[in-house]
Amino acid sequence: MAKRRTGRNVHGWVALDKPTGMSSAKALNEVQRLLDAKKAGHAGTLDPMASGVLPLAFGEATKTVSFMMGSGKSYRFTVKWGESTDSCDAEGAVTATSDVRPDRAAIETALPAFIGEIDQVPPQFSAIKVDGERAYKKARKGETVEMKARKVRVDDLRLAETPDADTAVFEADCGKGVYVRALARDIAAALGAEGHVTVLRRTRVGPFAAEQCHTLDELSDLAHKARLTEVLSPVQTSLDDIPAVAVTEGDAFSLKQGREIVLLPRIATELREKASPRTIDGKDASRWALAHVDGTAVAIGDARAGRMTPVRVFNLT
């Protein structure tokens, strides 16, 4: 029996422009196959009907997916007035209709209420687990799914254009956990209208903008030319918002062995001054920093009391 192929050790990020009609999991599998990568993950699921930026992590970059998922995101989406659906998008069944068609002035007056920290009830057709099962699976079986409101952050929300009386195009910048479909649903409700999302495109995730992304066709072409690894961004791409500190080869060895290192007083002071509130996977990450040797990531460490304790170690050398 032939030995099963396990793939290569490929490390870094690929910014994919996911097409509509494809799940995030399938898109990841396609690129993983092209790279022949052993380990892979994605940062932030996009609905099959949505297109745009989907950061894909390979190898050691998978250890930083939580950071990318916590990064700011931007979207451009189109709302069709007149009908609401159970999924809040064009794939769902119509649940209500209305003749109300909000004009530009009314829409712009309503938007400020959705900027800042807001309470949002996720759509029942979502991947959130309810009683141990994905909400969308329950909804597809015809079950009534009670979704709880949660705090999310919308940094900016703009009306981009109103092509006609039936549609409006919006742009939003937001934090982790915002459901654009729910945002559209709530905007319509505030305007006394019915509405749902017909087009949804993610234009940015953290450091990746749509202009930097590659389509599956482009990645396939590069793979055939044996040039696909050229599009890989470094593992630490997702760590741009945490401090970085250069360490010696000796300290790097210690961190990789799971041992803490002593920081120079100047560096300890700098890291303390750069500390900011941050939670990663339920842990206090306010003092986390990236340790590197000549730009190669060594570890993410918790820097306190003049010492750095490794939290996640990278095996890149």
Helices (H), 47-144: 65-69, 104-110, 135-140
Give the amino acid at 179.
Y
Cα–Cα distance list, 110 to 114, 118, 200, 310 (Å): 8, 14, 21, 47
Measured distance CA(85)–CA(94) in Å, rounded:
4
Measured distance CA(17)–CA(210) in Å, rounded:
7
Backbone φ and ψ for 50, nearest 5 degrees, come out as -90, 155
Cα–Cα distance list, 181 to 69, 122, 202, 263 (Å): 18, 8, 12, 47
Which residues are annotated as catalytic? Answer: 47
Region of residue 49 (phi > 0: left; psi between -120 and 50: alpha; otherwise: beta): alpha
- Tokens linked to 114: 């959705």
Measured distance CA(307)–CA(29) in Å, rounded:
40
Dihedral, CA atoms, 241, 246, 250, 254, nearest 10 degrees? -10
**Nearest C-alpha neighbor of 311 from the set 286, 293, 294:** 286
- Per the DSSP assignment, residues forming a β-bridge with 53 are 17
Give the amino acid at 278.
R
